[in-house]
Structure 1
Amino acid sequence: MSDTSVQDRIDRYWTGRAPAYDDHQQRPERRELDRAVWADVWSSVLPAAPADVLDVGTGSGHVACLLASLGHTVTGIDLAEGMLDRAREHAAGLARPPRFLRGDAVAPDFPDGSFDAVTGRYVMWTLRDPVAAVRRWAALLRPGGVVAVVDSTWFPEGLDAGGEAFAAAYDEEVRAALPLAAARSIDETADVLRAAGLDGVEVTALEAVLELDRAHGVAPGHEVRMQHAVSGRVPV
């Protein structure tokens, strides 16, 4: 299966999933708690604001909108049009909204040296060729720039655990194209950043996020799992 066919199938799934996925993320009972916890997560790994940030696989814009509200200049890219629609709705109410563009997280189309940081939340596991992707992100950064991603080992027992619709979209052919889809350790993600040439790669367990998930639950088809921030820097 070609890269294009793989990505098209992934994009169709997430476009269809966008309303339910975003509604879950916007639940009022944890919205402000999420904001506080995630502001701490990102502030701990990113340059001080204002920085130019590219949020890859931005989805419904959760990270991009939060970072913009913290004073960063943010561009979010995604290939799932349904997700971008939701992201633009959320951005419309912000004083300094991110810009949202259709773009491939594996090969973002911007001039080299355009950003101070690249972020991604829940993206690494569903990337075609993650090492090539992170190398491209690094090229987009200025000297000393940071790549900071958050992810987990969502499907260590296999992607069938995600439910029928999910398993149909992420069938055997798609899974074969996604090296981190069934990762058993977050070290596999950290190793990707190292293989892409980043320095000082660090892995941080997000205990506060775990506590929120235990208290309020996670999206249907998922289990409560420890999430990690994984970051590295472009050599100066």
Structure 2
Amino acid sequence: MTAQDRINAYWTGRAPSYDEYQQRPDHLAVDQQAWSEVWKDALPPAPSDVLDVGTGSGQVAMVLAGLGHRVTGIDLAEGMLDRARQHAASMPNGPVIRRGDAVHPDFPSGSFDAVTSRYLMWTLREPEVAVANWVRLLRPGGTIAVVDSTWFPDGLENASENFTEHYDPQVQAVLPLATAQSIDQTVTVLETAGLTQVTVTPLTSIYELDRRFGVAPNHEHQMQFLVTGQR
């Protein structure tokens, strides 16, 4: 079993509870509104062709489609793909969900106006290779926009969530951003890929939303960041 197989198994097992938390009716609408504002400001005007890598249960892909973009979401965890397909099928002009590797997305060069990801960078193997491939998929002037945080600066073994069964030393060895001490490490990855105008935006609106409604079980309340760059 490869490191990626272990990651896929973990997220397939997490898919039901992860998706149910995302869909909580008490704050689903306000969540979607807040994230719509984040992505609207980050991306080219709709309608644009957008690839959401590591789409998971499809929450970002659905928000982007709701903004009027033509969205394709890819992931390798079958459990997450099942959830994402269910959501996509419920929406007119919903995202296209397909199995695909975020490190090596199988699309022709220049297929998209933007590539997005949320909560992927920390668990992304070969991030510099991945982002270079995302740049290849962009049309001139296209945008890469990623959201993440420094979730585990003290190491995965000290995380409040139990990763040890799947995120073993073999897996951790291929995830250079898993224990990042600063979001600047993600910035460096985007700059190394040749992107220009790389900027970091603290997502204060999401921080306040988490303060208001709480965070997922075994998670900590902390600042998330939007990192964008242009081809």
CA contact (8 A) 1:161 1:221 kept: no
CA distance in 1, matches of 2:203, 2:133: 26
What does the per-residue CA deviation read over 1:42-87, in whole Å, with 9 as the maximum and x for residues that have no partner? 0111000000000000000000011001100000000000001000
CA distance in 2, matches of 1:113, 1:70: 22
Q: Residue 169 of structure 1: CA displacement?
A: 1.1
Question: 1:82 aligns to what?
Answer: 79
State the Cα RMSD in Å: 1.0
What does the per-residue CA deviation read over 1:79-109, in whole Å, with 9 as the maximum and x for residues that have no partner? 0000010001111111111110000001100
Q: 1:132-151 alignment to 2 at 5 Å?
A: 132-151=129-148
1:92 aligns with 2:89: yes
Residue identity opposite 1:83 in structure 2 = M
1:215 aligns with 2:207: no
Q: Residue 141 of structure 1: CA displacement?
A: 0.4
Kindly, what percent of the aligned residue pairs are identical? 62
Question: 1:17 aligns to what?
Answer: 14
Q: Residue 182 of structure 1: CA displacement?
A: 0.3
CA distance in 2, matches of 1:200, 1:19: 38
What does the per-residue CA deviation read over 1:125-172, in whole Å, with 9 as the maximum and x for residues that have no partner? 111110110000000000000000000000011112335642221112
Taking structure 1 as the reference length, the TM-score comes to: 0.96
* Change over 3 Å in CA distance of 1:178–1:220 after alignment to 2: same
CA distance in 1, matches of 2:27, 2:155: 29
Residue identity opposite 2:101 in structure 1 = D
Residue identity opposite 1:47 in structure 2 = P
Question: 2:182 aligns to what?
Answer: 185
Question: 1:69 aligns to what?
Answer: 66
Residue identity opposite 2:74 in structure 1 = I
Question: 2:103 aligns to what?
Answer: 106
Among candidates 1, 5, 8, match of residue 5 of structure 2:
8
Unaligned runs of 5+ in 1: none
Secondary structure of the residue aligned to 2:194 is coil
CA distance in 2, matches of 1:229, 1:191: 14
Question: 1:197 aligns to what?
Answer: 194
Residue identity opposite 2:143 in structure 1 = V
1:170 aligns with 2:167: yes
Question: 1:33 aligns to what?
Answer: 30
Secondary structure of the residue aligned to 1:49 is coil
1:157 aligns with 2:170: no
Q: Residue 30 of structure 1: CA displacement?
A: 1.1
1:52 aligns with 2:49: yes
Taking structure 2 as the reference length, the TM-score comes to: 0.98
Unaligned runs of 5+ in 2: none
1:229 aligns with 2:219: no
Structure 1 stretch displaced more, 163-172 or 183-192: 163-172
Paired residue total? 231
